[in-house]
């Protein structure tokens, strides 16, 4: 006899779970109980659902699976950063990172296995995009890092950034569903203001986020405000040009009134001239913004090199002179390939 293919129970809504119990001759509120176990308590097996009878747990086991992630390998950096190699139910691997500071812990989570885009300076873009992550797989990464934060730093996770593997907006629906669960009182109950989604810039989806009235923060991985240079390092820019990106960000700001953060790496001989700084200032003018200048983390082949301190100072001075908030970010977790742009399943 052919085995029944079990459904992923976390793909069901609360209402669908209630209907399942009613159609099986049980009470609707059982669906609420199971939903609470799955999302608030992040249960990874039906056996732990102790307020359900053994028969009910067996019925769930017969019909459903919980496609829970497994942390295959956890590495700790000398600076306290933790990198998880996360095995998915189909044996694919993604990576997520816990970044601790004195006052908070941040989870850097992945949204795709591999990446849809082709940034030449990023290790993840060299991996073939295998698939999008499901909402529960994104959620599980956050739960795993929250548990590590409590265990190793004695405090709950405080912030989440979608800056791991993949382009979050190319997995739009699942990322928004995951954030909905993470921020819902029925889930982890985190404030959306503590979540930042970082995109390389997909204009129509930035507009869609604005229309969907999302409450989380937006960061744009910019790296150049000159089309020719940006296309040379981020080839998809030929399709999603800076003028289209800027138009979508104007739309975002008009709708949300939410400040835009630009992530920006300065490379030697690529975008370290005064004309590059001036173009960035001009690009930022239309809305309140903040620029994070990020230290570059080499990915082996040496084509991209960190710019000189003088070049970084030129950026900082020019941006500050034009009243644009700027911070210089030192990378964390470089010794375990956990830093920005280094996630490539090497471990």
- Catalytically active residues are 95, 340
40-72 residues labelled b (16+ CB within 10 A) or e (exposed): eebbbebeebeebeeebbebbeeebbbbbbebe
Q: Which residues of 112-148 are buried (b: 16+ CB within 10 A; e: fewer)?
A: bbbbbbebebbbbbebebeebbbbbbbbbbbbbbbeb
Asked if residue 280 belongs to a known ligand binding site, the reply is no
Q: Is 77 part of any known ligand binding site? A: no
Helical H segments across the chain, by residue range:
14-23, 29-39, 54-63, 135-153, 172-183, 203-211, 227-233, 242-256, 274-284, 309-321
d(CA 179, CA 67): 18
Has 222 been labeled as part of a binding site? yes
Annotation-wise, does 115 bind a ligand? Answer: yes
Cβ 129 vs Cβ 115: under 8 Å? yes
Distance of CA 312 to the CA centre of its chain: 27
Closest CA to 212 of 245, 172, 249: 172
Report whether 223 belongs to an annotated binding site: yes
308 is in an annotated binding site: no
Annotated binding site for [4Fe-4S] cluster: 115, 119, 122
Annotated binding site for S-adenosyl-L-methionine: 166-167, 198, 221-223, 297
């Amino acid at each position: 006899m052919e085995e029944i293919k079990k459904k992923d129970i976390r793909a069901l809504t609360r209402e669908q779970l209630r209907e399942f119990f009613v159609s099986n001759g049980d009470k609707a509120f059982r669906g609420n109980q199971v939903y609470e176990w799955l999302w608030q308590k992040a249960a990874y097996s039906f056996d732990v659902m102790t307020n359900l009878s053994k028969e009910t747990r067996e019925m769930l086991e017969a019909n459903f699976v919980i496609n829970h992630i497994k942390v295959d390998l956890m590495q700790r950096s000398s600076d306290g950063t933790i990198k998880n190699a996360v095995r998915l139910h189909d044996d694919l691997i993604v990576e997520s990172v816990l970044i601790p500071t004195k006052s908070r812990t941040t989870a850097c989570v992945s949204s795709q296995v591999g990446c849809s885009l082709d940034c030449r300076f990023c290790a993840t873009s060299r991996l073939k995009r295998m698939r999008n992550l499901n909402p529960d797989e994104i959620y599980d990464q956050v739960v795993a890092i929250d548990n590590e934060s409590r265990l190793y730093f004695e405090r709950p996770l405080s912030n989440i950034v979608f800056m791991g593997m993949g382009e979050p907006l190319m997995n739009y629906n699942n990322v928004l569903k995951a954030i909905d669960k993470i921020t819902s009182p029925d889930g982890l109950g985190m404030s959306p203001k503590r979540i930042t989604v970082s995109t390389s810039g997909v204009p129509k989806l930035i507009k869609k986020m604005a229309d969907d009235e999302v409450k989380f923060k937006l960061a744009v991985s910019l790296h150049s405000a000159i089309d020719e240079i940006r296309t040379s390092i981020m080839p998809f820019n030929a399709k999603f040009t800076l003028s289209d990106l800027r138009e979508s960000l104007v739309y975002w700001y008009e709708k949300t009134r939410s400040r835009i953060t630009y992530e920006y790496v300065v490379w030697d001989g690529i975008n370290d001239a005064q004309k590059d700084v001036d173009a960035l200032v001009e690009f930022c003018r239309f809305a309140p913004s903040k620029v994070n200048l990020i230290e570059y983390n080499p990915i082996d082949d040496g084509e991209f090199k960190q710019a000189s301190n003088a070049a970084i100072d030129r950026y900082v001075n020019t941006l500050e002179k034009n009243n644009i908030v700027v911070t210089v970010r030192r990378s964390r977790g470089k010794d375990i390939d956990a830093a920005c742009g280094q996630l490539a399943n090497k471990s």
